[in-house]
Amino acid sequence: MSASDYSIPPDLARALRNARTVAALTGAGVSAESGVPTFRDAQTGLWAQFDPCELATPSAFARNPTLVWDWYAMRRALVRGVAPNAGHYALAALDDHVPECLVATQNVDGLHQQAGSRWVIELHGNITRVKCASCGRQALAWDDAGPQRPPRCAYCSGPLRPDVVWFEEMLPDDAVAAAERAVDTCDVLLVAGTSSEVYPAAELPRRALRSGARVVEINPLATPLSELAHDTLRGPSGVVLPALVAAAFPA
Ligand code: BV8
Ligand code: ZN
C-alpha cells in the first residue's frame, strides 16, 4: 500500500490545513518501518527470553547491571544502523506547513530529530546518551562492549546507564510540562504508532480531548484510545502520515 492510494477524509485534511498548532504523540510503531522492533514485537536471539518491561527497570539494573547494559548496547548498535522512514519525514514536513508543530515521543531512538523535526520532546529519554547512575552526569565517551560492563563514571566511578526513563522512574518534569502544554493548546493531535498503554504518556490524548482538540489515531491495530479518538486511520504510519500531509497540503 502506498501513500497515494491511502484515502484521507476531506474534513480531516481541511482541519489539519486550517490548524494553527499541531502536536504529535508517537510510539515504537513509528520506527517499526525503519527496522526498530516495537516493545510488542517478540525479542529475538538471546533476548527472546526477556520481557522488555522487565529489563527496563531500576530493579533489573540493580540485579544484573551487565545484562541490562548489554541489552541497551545491542539496541544502541541497532539504532545506529537505521534511518528515519517516510512517517518521520512527513511529521518533519509539517513544520513547514503549520505555524506550530511539536512532536512528543516515547521513542528513545532520536529518529524524529534525524528526520528534521524542529521541536521534539523525548518523554522517555534517548538511548544514544549515557549517564552515571550515581551522580547523574552525562558520559562524554564510553566503551559499549569493554571488559567492564557497565563502564564506570569518569567523575565518581559510579556505574554508567542509558539516559532513558525506566519503568517506575519519573519522566523529566520539563518534558511532561511541555507535552501537557502542547496537548492543552493544539488544534489537532496526531497519535501514531503507540499502544496507548504506558503512563503518563497515554494520558496525553485524553487531556487533548478534554481541551477540545481533534484527536487522530494512526495505527494498523485498535488500541484503548481508538473508541475515544475522532479519527482512526488504520495502516502503517510510514504510509498514512505522508498521505495525511499530502491531502492537507497538496503540492
Ligand atoms: C512512572 C524507555 C511513577 C526505556 C519506556 C497508571 C496505570 C497503570 C500503570 C501505571 C500508571 N502510571 C504509571 C504506571 C506504571 C508504568 C506503566 O505505564 N506501565 C504500563 C506497562 C501499564 N509507567 C511508568 O513506570 C512510568 N513511570 O509512572 O513513575 C511511578 C514510580 C514508581 C512506581 C510506579 C509509578 C515510566 C514509563 C516509561 C518507561 N520507559 N521506554 C526503553 O525504551 O528501554 S516505556 C517504552 O514502552 C516505550 O518508550 C513506550 O512508551 C512503551 C512501548 O509502548 P509503544 O511505544 O506504544 O510501543 P508498543 O510496542 O507497546 O506498541 C507499538 C504500537 O505500534 C502497537 O499499537 C502497534 O499496533 C503499532 N504499530 C506497529 N507497527 C506500526 C504501528 N503503528 C504505525 N505504523 C506501524 N508500521
Ligand atoms: Zn558519576
The pLDDT confidence band at residue 214, using thresholds 50, 70 and 90, is very high
* Contact by Cβ (8 Å): 239, 1: yes
Ligand 1 contacts CB of residue 85 (under 6 A): no
Report DSSP letters for 77-106, one per residue.
HHHHT----HHHHHHHHHTTTSSEEEEEE-
Distances (CA, A) of 100 to 23, 27, 119, 194: 8, 21, 9, 22
- Is the CB–ligand 1 distance for residue 206 below 6 Å? no
Find the DSSP H helices in 86-172: 86-94, 111-115
Kindly give, in sequence order, each residue whose CB lies less than 8 Å from that of residue 25, ignoring residues fewer than 6 positions away: 104, 105, 106, 179, 183, 189, 190, 191, 192, 194, 201, 204, 205
Cβ of 124 closer than 6 Å to ligand 1, yes or no, is yes
What separation in Å is there between the alpha carbon of 5 and the centre of ligand 1?
31
Does the pLDDT value for residue 166 go beyond 90?
yes
Does residue 62 register a pLDDT over 70? yes
pLDDT of residue 45: 62
Task: Tell which wins on pLDDT, 82 or 37.
Answer: 82
Residue pLDDT, tens place only, 105-121: 999 999 999 999 999 99
Q: For residue 42, which phi and psi values (nearest 5 degrees)?
A: -60, 140
> Ligand 1: which atom is nearest the Cα of residue 124?
2
Q: How far apart, in whole angstroms, are the C-alpha atoms of residue 89 and residue 111?
A: 9
Q: Catalytic residue positions?
A: 124
pLDDT at 51 over 90: no
Q: Which atom of ligand 1 is nearest to the CA of 108?
A: 43
21-50 pLDDT, tens digit per residue, is: 999 999 999 999 999 988 877 566 667 777
